[in-house]
Structure 1
C-alpha cells in the first residue's frame, strides 16, 4: 500500500462552465399552488435561492484554500485509491483518532473539529487526526465490485491506520461511520482500543435473555404493544422498524430507492447539479436541529452556513461521486451486514454523545446491553451532523472520552 501527497484541486474551467450553464438554465418541477412546506420533499422556495448562491456567489477556491491547510494523501489499499487527511498532533500525549462520516456528507463534515482535536483546544486531550473519504465518496476511488459494504469499509480503514503506523487508535463515527466504526470496534479490537459515536445502532434485548434480564425484555415487549413513548418516555426515542420502513418512518423513502435501485437514481444525481443539491438539501434540512418550525423554515439550520453546505455538494459534483456513495445502501440492504452489525456487541470502551435531532435514537438500555459504555451524554441541542451543528460540544465530548481512556489506561 503506497501513500502519496494530494492537494484538493481547482475546478477545471470547462467543468466550471458546465456547472454555471446548468445552474443558470435550471428547469424547476411543477408544484402545488398551496404551500405545503417540506411535506412533499424539498420545495422550490428553499432550493432556488441556494442554486442562485451556487451560481453567483459561492467560491470553490475559498473552500479549497481552507481544505488545503491540512495534509491530504492518497493511499492505495488493495486495488482502490483512498483519500484521507492526516493531521498529527505536536502533543506527545496525543491519541490516534479515526473520524468516519456517513451519507450524504463527506470528509468535510469534520472541517471544524480537525484543528481543535489535533491541538487539544482548551487544554483538553489532543489527537492525531485521520479523516478518510470512504471508497466512493469524494476524492476516494469508487468500489469496482459488488459487496463493498460496512464490513469491507472497516477492513480498508483499519488497514489505513496500520499503514500510518498506529498500533493503537480510537474510532469515532457518525451515520454510516457509526456502523463502520462498530465493525472496527468488534473485529479489530487488538488495535482499535475504544469506540466513540453519535449514531449508536444495536438490536433490542433478545427474548433469550428473559431470565438474565427480565425487566429489559418485558419493557421491549410492552413497547411492541404500547409504543416507545409510553414505555421509554415521550420524545426520547426514534426507533426505526426496518431499514426501508416508509409506513412508520417518512424519512425512509430515500433508503428504499438507494437500497434497491441506485443505478436509476444516479442519472439524475450525476447529470443535474440542481437535482443533486435538492437531494442533499432535504437531508440537511430534515436531520438537523432548527430553532423554528421545520416545515416553515428555509433549508439549512442556523448552525450550518450556506457555504459549508455548498462545499459538501460541490465535492460530490466535482468528483461525480454521489452515485457511488448511494450504492453503500444497496450493499448493506442486500446482505445480512446491517443486522449482523446491529446484533453484535462491542467489548472495548465506548462513548456515546446523543443529540435530540438525530434521526434514530434507541433506548439507552438497549445500547448498554450491546456496548461497553464508559461515557454517555444526552445533549439538549443538535442534530445528525454535530461536527457541523454543535462543534464545541462534540469536541469537548471526544476530549473527555480521550481523558477517560488515558486515566483508566485503556490506551497508552
Structure 2
C-alpha cells in the first residue's frame, strides 16, 4: 500500500522511503468511491452548508475513474524521502540537499489539511536556485500522525513535543543551525522552536504570525486591521471542523478513515474556503494536486490521527492567541501575510510578540496554502525573507 518501512528494525537511523500504491489499494479505493451512499443536496446551494453534492460526486468520480495512480506515485516520489525514529515515533520527511556550499538549512512544516505535497513545486527551486539567489537544504517533515509518519499511540504529542522532535531531526541530518518556516500548525511548531531552541535558529518565517489584535489599537484601527477582524468574525461560521477535531477526533476519524468520500468532502471544503481563487478552486489548484494531497491522508489512514493534533494543542494555541499573553519571541523573524489567509495581523500587532521582525510583506495573491497555490510568490517570500534575516543577523559559528 504505502510502502512503509520498519525503521525500528534497522541499525541505520535514517533510511530511504518510497511511496508504493499497489493494485489492491487502488481496487479498494475505487470500490469504496463507487459504493458511496450520497446525501441529498443542501437546501441553500453553493458552499454555505459545506461541499456541494454535485462537486463532491464529480470529484469522487474523477478520483475513481480518471486519476492516474501510477503517475501519482511518481509525483509523490519526485523528491528524496526518508524515515527515522525520534522519541519512539518514526518520522517521515522529504530532504532535498543543495549542491551549493553556502546553502542554508531550511525546515518547512505543513499543517492541516495539507501535507508535504504542498512543497512539491518549491523544494527543487529552493535547493537549486537561479544565480544570485540563496540556496537551501530543504527538510519537510510530515507531522506525527500525518502522511507517512507514525501515528502516536499515546497522548502527549503536542506542538511543543513536535518542535523537540524537529530539533532532533535537524541534529541527525547534521544541521546545528537552521531556518524554520511554517503555516497553520507549522507556524505554531516554528514558534515553539523559537521559544525552546532559540540558539539553534538563524531565524523563523511565519505565514502568518499567530497574534491577537492589540487592545490599545482598537480605537484607532487601520482599514486593513478592520478588514482582518471582520474576516475573522466571518470565518468563524466555518470553524466546526476545529471544534470536532479538538474535542472528538476519534468520532470523526471513523468516517475519515473508512470513507474516501467523507475524507474528500471534509478536506476539500477547507481548500475551497481558504484558497485564493476566483470562485473556482481548480483555477488555482489542479484536480491532480488536490487528489495527491488526499492520497497522503487516504493511503496511511490518517484521518483520525491527523485530527488528534487538534485535541493535543488547539486549546492552548487558541488561548495564547486570544489572550495576547504569550512570551515574546526574540529570534529574528520574517512574516508573509497572504491576502486570503486568516488571521491577517498587522505588523504593529505582531511586534508585540515578535519584536525582532526583519522582514514583513503582504503579497498580492495567495491564501492558506501559499506554496501550493502560488509557488512563484512563495519562492520570492522565502528568498527575500532569508536575505533580510541573514543580512542583519550574526551567523552562528
TM-score when scaled to structure 1? Answer: 0.87
The residue that corresponds to 1:339 in the other structure is 319
User: What's the counterpart of residue 278 of structure 1?
Assistant: 265
- Structure 1 residues 248 and 306: alpha-carbon distance in aligned structure 2, compared to 1, 3 A threshold: closer
Unpaired runs of at least 5, structure 2: 1-7
Distance in 2 between the 1:195 and 1:379 partners? 18
Residue in 1 aligned with 2:18? 8
CA offsets 1:78-131 (integer angstroms, 9 cap, x no match): 100000111111111110000000000111111111001111236311000000
Q: In 2 relative to 1, CA 88–95 (structure 1 residues): closer, same or farther, beyond 3 Å? A: same
The answer to whether residue 370 in structure 2 is matched with residue 378 in structure 1 is: no
Contact 2:225 2:345 in 1 (8 A): no
**Within 5 Å, which residues of 2 pair with 1:81-160?**
81-121=90-130, 123-160=132-169
Residue in 2 that maps onto 1:244:
none
**Other-structure match for 2:305:** 324
Matches within 5 A, 1:10-409: 10-32=20-42, 36-121=45-130, 123-205=132-214, 217-220=215-218, 222=219, 233-237=225-229, 240=232, 249-292=236-279, 297=280, 300-333=281-314, 336=316, 338-340=318-320, 343-371=326-354, 372-409=356-393
Partners of 1:63 and 1:5 lie apart in 2 by 22
8 Å contact from structure 2 (residues 79, 95) kept in 1:
yes
Q: Is the 8 A contact 2:358 2:389 kept in 1?
A: no
Distance in 1 of aligned mates of 2:87 and 2:336: 33
**2:202, 2:390 within 8 Å by CA — same for their partners in 1?**
no
Residue in structure 2 matched with residue 211 of structure 1 by the alignment? none
CA deviations 1:351-408 (Å, max 9, x no partner) are 1111111122123211012112100001121110000111111111111122223322
Q: Is the 8 A contact 1:94 1:125 kept in 2?
A: yes
**3-state SS of 1:360 partner:** coil
CA offsets, 1:141-173, max 9 Å, x none?
A: 011211211111111111100111111100000
* C-alpha distance in 1 between matches for 2:368 and 2:222: 21
SS state of the match for residue 54, structure 1? helix
SS at match of 2:367: coil
C-alpha displacement of 1:199: 2.3
In structure 2, distance between residues paired with 1:248 and 1:104: 16
- CA distance in 2 between counterparts of 1:391 and 1:180 reads 22
Structure-2 change in CA distance of 1:204 and 1:229 (3 Å): closer
- Structure 2 partner of 1:212: none
Assess, with a 3 A threshold, how the Cα gap between structure 1 residues 8 and 187 changes in structure 2: closer, same or farther.
Answer: same
The answer to whether the Cα contact below 8 Å between 1:87 and 1:128 also exists between their aligned partners in 2 is yes
Q: Secondary structure at the match of 2:288?
A: helix
Deviation at 1:234, TM superposition (A): 4.2
Q: Greater shift after overlay, 130-139 or 34-43?
A: 34-43
Between the aligned partners of 1:385 and 1:248, the Cα distance in structure 2 is: 16
Alpha-carbon distance in 2 for matches of 1:31, 1:307: 25
The whole-number CA distance in structure 1 between the counterparts of 2:161 and 2:318 is: 12
Query: 1:282-334, CA deviations, whole angstroms, 9 ceiling, x for partnerless residues?
Result: 00100011224xxxx4xx24121100110011111000012100001111145
> C-alpha displacement at 1:219, in angstroms?
1.8
Unpaired stretches in structure 1, ≥5 consecutive residues: 206-216, 242-246
Moved more, 191-200 or 95-104: 191-200
